[in-house]
Amino acid sequence: MTAIQILLTWVAVLSIGAFLAFGLDKKLASKDKHRVPERVLLTWSILGGAPGSLLAMFAFRHKIRFPTFWLVQLAALGLWGWTLYQL
């Protein structure tokens, strides 16, 4: 496996995890139960799950009113995109 394949796999796996974490948080929020902490959701994004997080924000209409989430998602997406471009 090349470095770019490893990195793309990393981003794909974390994106799936982030998408599922956002979905779980939305489900728990609608049932008024204990939720996934925001720092956990943001960490998924920073570590590589930004594409999945952005998709989840739109798919579940979750956290779309929070500027912090937009800023982190876009910054992480740009950083990971730049990293992939450099390879």
pLDDT digits (tens, 9 = 90+) for 30-81: 999 999 999 999 999 999 999 999 999 999 999 999 999 999 999 999 999 9
**pLDDT for 1:** 87
Q: Count CB neighbours of 82 within 10 A.
A: 9
Q: Which domain holds residue 9?
A: 3-86
Q: How many domains does the chain have?
A: 1
Residue with tokens 């992939």: 84
**pLDDT for 12:** 97
